[in-house]
Chains A and B, each alone.
Chain A
Amino acid sequence: GQNIDQPTEMTATEGAIVQINCTYQTSGFNGLFWYQQHAGEAPTFLSYNVLDGLEEKGRFSSFLSRSKGYSYLLLKELQMKDSASYLCAVPGGGTYKYIFGTGTRLKVLA
Chain B
Amino acid sequence: EAGVTQFPSHSVIEKGQTVTLRCDPISGHDNLYWYRRVMGKEIKFLLHFVKESKQDESGMPNNRFLAERTGGTYSTLKVQPAELEDSGVYFCASSQGHPYSGYTFGSGTRLTVV
**Interface set of A (CB-CB < 8 Å, partner B):** 4, 31, 33, 35, 40-45, 48, 50, 87, 91-92, 95-103
Contacts and interface: CB of A to CB of B under 8 A. Distances in A.
Interface string B98-114: 11111111111000000
A43 B91 contact: yes
Given A45-B104, A98-B43, 6 more contacts: A31-B100, A42-B105, A95-B56, A96-B95, A103-B42, A103-B43
Contact of B106 (A42, A45, A50, A87): A42
- The contact size tier of chain B is 20 to 34
Contacts, number: 61
B45 interface: yes
Q: Is the interface of A mostly helix, strand, loop or mixed?
A: loop
A102 B38 CA distance: 10
A87 B102 CA distance: 13
Interface of B: 3-4, 31, 33, 35, 40-45, 48, 55-56, 58-59, 91, 95, 98-108
Contact of A40 (B42, B59, B107): B107
Nearest to B101: A48
B102 A45 contact: yes
B91 A42 contact: yes
A100 B102 contact: no
B103 A98 contact: yes
Given A42-B91, A42-B106, A96 B3 contact: no
Contacts of A43: 43, 91, 105
Nearest to B107: A42
Contact of A42 (B40, B55, B108): B108
A87 B59 CA distance: 19
26 contacts: A33-B102, A35-B102, A41-B107, A42-B4, A42-B104, A42-B105, A45-B101, A45-B104, A48-B102, A50-B100, A92-B45, A95-B48, A95-B56, A96-B48, A96-B56, A96-B95, A97-B33, A97-B48, A97-B58, A98-B35, A98-B45, A98-B99, A100-B42, A101-B42, A102-B41, A102-B42
